[in-house]
A and B are shown apart, each in its own frame.
Chain A
């Protein structure tokens, strides 16, 4: 047996340094899982491809939606990036419930990891998936002839936007998981809210053509801010980048706070 004497116990990381370390640990695990099983990457590419190919191409011909001079397919592409990454994040809570039932979560909660750090780690791990998804959608859109920027700074902005948006929606999902505690209920609620979040945003059409009540909903929907930022960064259309970034950051922080306060319910 290789254990001759007890190795020295690690010196504790303290204070602010705990958070980035835990985020890194969770992201590494997410990448390892994706490396072992890439099925999800391929199947997740189908829906956005269909949206762009069928919905996008058709509505480009109809020219019914005022996009401000941008071809509709170009206008749609950032919306589909936001939508497809949100769809992944909104079901992230299922993984938390699975980890709870299997004991993985219990064990993580007995490590020197504050709950907020664990949730932040998970939220950013969901962001890893979202970034890969965003790259896939950008590639599909490029193949379909959408002219997007290749400016590295703007692409970095896209990355940050997608991660923040995904962090919020995965925390929303973990919050629901903390309330309903079962996979079936979370699936049901997830299914029920994804489409309204998608349609009550500017992903498919500008909010200006919506009825007033829907515009109001769109105003408080973080997805709208994500789409606005992605459009501005990728297409160079007028956008409110500072406001978008601020709202997304605030939403992510709020999501992390609420879902980490509910994590105790999952530990019980």
Chain B
């Protein structure tokens, strides 16, 4: 069966595209899926370090496109999951080293051997982004509940819809339940009301992400970490399962406020 090619993009940088790509690759791998994650951020390679595979990089995407190696030679097998692979970006080149048509061809060649091809897009709306979406069947847009990230997500949605890629789906990352409860952070319904696209995931702000990135082992491996559960839920939704969403920071009740007044800080849900 041919793989689904899914591009993870955002417009704004630093909202968690690479972390999301690494964790969805891991979570899908844990579900027994054959996955290849492509780092399309040529010149600013990072998916390798987030996945903990930086010491194994020999060839990269540009080497494949320019014929210096076979596609299979450039794929790096994950340390823990035998059916998860990384195709790293070139670090010493720039976005113009590859064309959208070449990226689309690359994705096409990977289809027969995998269930999922995940493409980690660079920030921005220029050629790097165009390359990343060129071969995609589906687009996932990552945003955080901040004005700048939501504005950029809206711009990307417009570009994706104009490119006839089918309706993109949204991942809202780094939600802080306590700030939502205080009314100091846009909540899931606010962001959905503004962007009006289908939701596929909500991921809480979680310190475990930094710890796991430090170690080069995606957090999705952790059994009970909230962000890990969130990423595993997204991967199950990608497979068509109807998974309920984590509730994060419903609006404050009288009891919440009373607790804050008399007791210790309410813990983040």
Do chains A and B interact in one complex? Answer: no
Binding site for B on A (CB under 8 A): none
Q: Contact residues of B with A, CB < 8 Å?
A: none
